[in-house]
Amino acid sequence: MIWSQTLLMMVALLAVQFAIGLPVAFAFLGANLIGAWIFLGGEAGLVQLVRNASGSVNSFALAPIPLFILMGELLFHTGLAYRAIDAIEKLLVRLPARLACVTVVGGTAFAALSGSSIANTAMLGGTLSQDMLRRGYSPTLTFGPAMAVGGIAVLIPPSALAVMLGSLSGISITQLLIGGIFPGVLMAVGFLLFVILTAVLSPSSAPREDKAEVLSARERLVPFFRDVVPLSGIFVAVIGGMLGGFATPTEAAALGSAASLIATIVYRKLTFSNLVISLMETAKVSISILFIIVASVTFSQILSFSGATSGFMSVVREVDASPMMLVLAMLGIILVLGCLIDQISIMMITLPFFMPIAHSAGIEPVWLGLMMLVAIELGLLTPPFGLLLMVMQGASRETPLLHIYKAAIPFILIELAVLILMFLVPELTMFLPSLVD
C-alpha cells in the first residue's frame, strides 16, 4: 500500500467515527487498532499498541495537566472565581459597557487561574452574558467577550493544552507556557479596546450604568484587594517559579495547586463536598486527555511505519517552499481544520507531519508552537463547529446560533491580527521564552 493510500485510509477511518459521534479518544483508538494490525505486524502490532499506551502516559512531563486542571476546579466550585469577578465589576463601574468590560477583565483573570476554556466561557456565559442580555446590550457585546476570553485560557498559563502540545511535539513546555503570556494579554487588551470603542461609537449597543454614582472609592477598592489581589499570588507562584528557574512546569503546577487549595481554606470556602466535586471533575478531564495522548503516540507511529510521514515529507521537499511559506501553510491548515473539528484532534492529526517539516526546514519550534496555539484557539470561535460557540449556545438557549456566530466575528479578527503580528515580528513572540533556559 503506497503512502497516500495509507494516509487516506487512516483519515477516512477517523472521519467515519467522528461522523457517528464517537469521542475523540475512542475514534483514534479505533483507527489505531486497525492500523496497528495492518502496518505493525498483526498481533505483534496490537502488543506494541499496548506498550505505547503504557509508555506514553508514564511521563513526568504530563503531571502538570491534572494539577493545572485542579487549580481551576477548586476556584470554580468553591465560588472564589465568582467573588473575584464581582470585585472586578465594582472596580470598573466607570467604564462604558461596564459588564462587557468586566467579562473581558474578569475572564482573563480567571483564565490565568484555571486554564479551562470551557469552564471560563460557561461561567461567564451563564452569569454576566445573561445579565447583559436582560439589560439590553447588543449581541456582539453580550456573547462575544465571554467566548473570546474563554479562548485565552489556551494561551495564558496554566494551560493544559500547551502542556499537551509540548509533550506531543517535543517543544519545551516551559517556553510554551511562558510564551503564551504575550499573545494572551495582547488579545485581552484588544478585546477591551474593542468593547469600549463600540460602546462609545454606538451608545445603543450598551445601556448607561448608574452604579458608579452609588459606590464610593472604598466600596470599589476593598473588594478588589480582598478578593483579587491575593488570588493573583497563584499566578505569580506558577509563572515566577518557571521564570526564576527554580521550578519545572510540574513543580510550578504543584505550587499553583497548593496555593489554590490554601486560598480556598483561608477564605473559608472549602468544604468536603466541593473538594470531592473538584477532585472528581479533575479526574474526568485528566483521564480524557491521557486517553487522547495514548491514542496520539500510536497514531504517529503507524503513520511513520507505513511510510505516510516520509511520503508526505518528500512531497513537501519537492515543492521547495521557503520556511515562511511552510509556516503559513501549516497555520492555514490549522485554521481550516478549526472550523470542522476540535482542538485536540487538530494537534493529533497535524503534529506527526508538521514537526518533521519544521525540523528539516530549520523553523524555530517554540515560535511555531505558540502560533499553532493561537491558531488552535481561533478554532474555538470559528463557525460552524467552534466549541465555545456551542458552549455559549448551551448557556443561552433562546438566542439563535446565527447571532452567536455574528458576535464572534470581531473577536476572531482581533485574534487573527495578533497571529499576523506574531508571524511578522517573531522577536515579540520569543522575548519571554528567551528568558527561560
Span 112-129, average pLDDT:
77
Which position has the higher pLDDT, 237 or 312?
Answer: 237
Please state, as a whole number, how many other Cβ atoms lie within 10 Å of the Cβ of residue 84: 24
Look at residue 4 in the predicted model and tell me its pLDDT: 74
Whole-angstrom distance, CA of residue 289 vs CA of residue 59: 14
- Cell 442580555 sits at which residue? 133
Q: What phi-psi label fits residue 271: left (phi over 0), alpha (psi between -120 and 50 degrees) or beta? A: beta
Tell me how far apart the alpha carbons of residues 215 and 236 are, in angstroms, rounded to a whole number.
30
The per-residue pLDDT for range 238-290, each reduced to its tens digit, is 888 887 777 888 888 888 889 899 999 999 999 999 999 999 988 887 887 77
**Cα 3 to the center of its chain, rounded Å:** 33
Of 8 and 358, the one with more pLDDT: 358
Of 31-35, 90-94, 339-343, which gets the smallest average pLDDT?
339-343
Evaluate if residue 119 carries a pLDDT over 50: yes
Do the Cβ atoms of 58 and 248 come closer than 8 Å?
A: no
What pLDDT score was predicted for residue 56? 66
Q: Evaluate whether 58 touches 267 at the Cβ level (below 8 Å).
A: no
pLDDT beyond 90 at 395: no
> Using CA atoms, how far apart are residues 199 and 373, in angstroms rounded to an integer?
30
Mean pLDDT of 408-427: 95
Peptide bond into 384 cis (omega under 30): yes
- Stretch 122-143: mean pLDDT: 85
In this prediction, residue 101 carries a pLDDT of 92
Select from 292, 78, 255, 270 the least CA-distant residue to 158.
Answer: 255
Which of the two residues, 331 and 7, has the higher pLDDT score? 331
Confidence band of 371 (pLDDT split at 50, 70, 90): very high
Does residue 232 carry a pLDDT above 70? yes
Pick 138 or 151 by higher pLDDT: 138
- DSSP character for 342? -
The residues near 320 (Cβ < 8 Å, ≥ 6 apart) are none
**pLDDT score recorded for residue 212:** 47
SS3 label, residue 68: helix
What proportion of the chain, given as a percentage, has pLDDT over 70? Answer: 92
What pLDDT does residue 123 have?
A: 76
pLDDT > 90 fraction of the chain, expressed in percent and rounded = 23
* 140-197 pLDDT tens trace: 999 999 899 988 888 888 888 888 888 888 898 899 999 999 999 999 999 999 999 9
Q: Residue 317 has what pLDDT?
A: 67
pLDDT, mean of residues 39-66:
76
Cα(425)–Cα(22) distance, rounded to whole angstroms?
A: 40
- Where is pLDDT greater, at 124 or 173? 173
Name the pLDDT band for 214 (thresholds 50, 70, 90). low
* Mean pLDDT rounded to a whole number for the chain: 83
Q: Return the higher-pLDDT residue of 120 and 194.
A: 194
Residue 39 identity: F
